[in-house]
A and B are shown apart, each in its own frame.
Chain A
């Protein structure tokens, strides 16, 4: 009979479809795993509501749990419980190592334009804080684009949500 730990371990092997260096568990989108008599229920929070990877993630979870010999039910929870603060320390390090600057911690009141325009963000390549906002938006809704004046390299900054 499948155990909760086996399910968590299996989910930790599913890469984020858009940033495959981190797993769904690293991303903090798995809210709960309940195992009852061979049936598995997973509570899952989307990162962004318009994220096109939502169905891919849901299907990948169902398939992986199916491979453990259990029936899976994936509940999508569209509440306010996901924040980039839920990305695990391991996930943040994996992001940084692959050239995505991890999100800044969310402060009370949420992110502000003056903060994005300040030089409080560190380049994931050279570590310099002399970086400038190029575009609030980027290749996917979860990322902004910044430019490092230290190593003259543009980089992607995970938005704080």
Chain B
């Protein structure tokens, strides 16, 4: 796997982590407040580990890859870019779609000849198993809900679209990079 492909994966996890964290404090149930915050933390942890691998290949650092690129350079899927707060049914639909398609991608990585990447993918998968169980629980609960099923149809085609960004991605990028851009050269 080359560094560009690694970046797709890392960018997906980073941006979805940010989007999920937008539910912190305002999810419709306290349990979901905790769940989405925890999932966000995991996804950003995965992004960091993946950026570290990519950074070594590209001669840079994980932080530079995560926060110093221009908005147009991010390779994340349109699916994760969307700001879905306060729409819970579309949020759950995205969660279900992402976890399913991400599982296929992680499975492929686990089988690679590269022991470092395959090992990392296996570790990520141990954590993702809990995201999938959470998604599974909600998919079952909302199976008959028309807003949820319509959202599944609407959102699934977005997973493979990476060439362009949704308009609200720029705003997310500004928020995500603002601390780092505020002090040039600072390390946190």
Bound pair: A and B? yes
**A residues at B contact (CB < 8 Å):** 48-52, 78-83, 110-113, 116, 134-141, 145, 159, 161
Count of residues in B whose CB is under 8 Å from the partner chain = 30
Partner of B133 from the list A80, A113, A141 (CB cut-off 8 Å) is: A113
Asked whether, in the complex, the Cβ of A137 is within 8 Å of the Cβ of B34, the reply is: yes
In the complex, what distance in Å separates the CA atom of A135 from the CA atom of B126? Answer: 18
Contact of A137 (CB < 8 Å), options: B38, B43, B44, B129: B38
**Most B C-beta atoms less than 10 A away, residue of A82, A111, A113, A134:** A113
> Which of A50, A137, A145 has a CB less than 8 Å from the CB of B134?
A137
B35 close to A135 (CB less than 8 A) = yes
Cβ–Cβ contact B120 & A78, under 8 A:
yes
Expressed in whole angstroms, the minimum distance between the Cβ of B188 and any Cβ of chain A is 11
Residue interface mask B135-154, A partner, CB < 8 A = 1: 01100000000000000000
In the complex, the answer to whether B34 meets A80 with C-beta atoms within 8 Å is no
Knowing A137-B35, A137-B134, the reply to whether A78 touches B123 (Cβ < 8 A) is yes
Q: Which stretch, B45-53, B78-86, B159-167, touches the partner chain A?
A: B45-53
State the Cβ distance, B56 to closest chain A Cβ, in Å: 12
Majority secondary structure, A binding face? loop
Q: With contacts A80-B126, A137-B38 known, is A50 near B136, CB below 8 A?
A: no
Question: What B residues does A81 contact at CB under 8 A?
Answer: 119
What are some 27 contacts across the A-B interface (CB < 8 A)?
A48-B45, A48-B127, A49-B49, A50-B42, A50-B46, A51-B45, A52-B41, A80-B120, A110-B126, A110-B129, A111-B129, A113-B133, A116-B133, A135-B31, A136-B133, A136-B137, A137-B31, A137-B130, A137-B134, A138-B34, A139-B34, A140-B38, A141-B38, A141-B41, A141-B42, A145-B31, A161-B127
Q: Which residues of B contact A49 (CB under 8 A)?
A: 42, 45-46, 48-49, 123-124, 127
Residues of A close to B122: CB separation below 8 A? 79-80
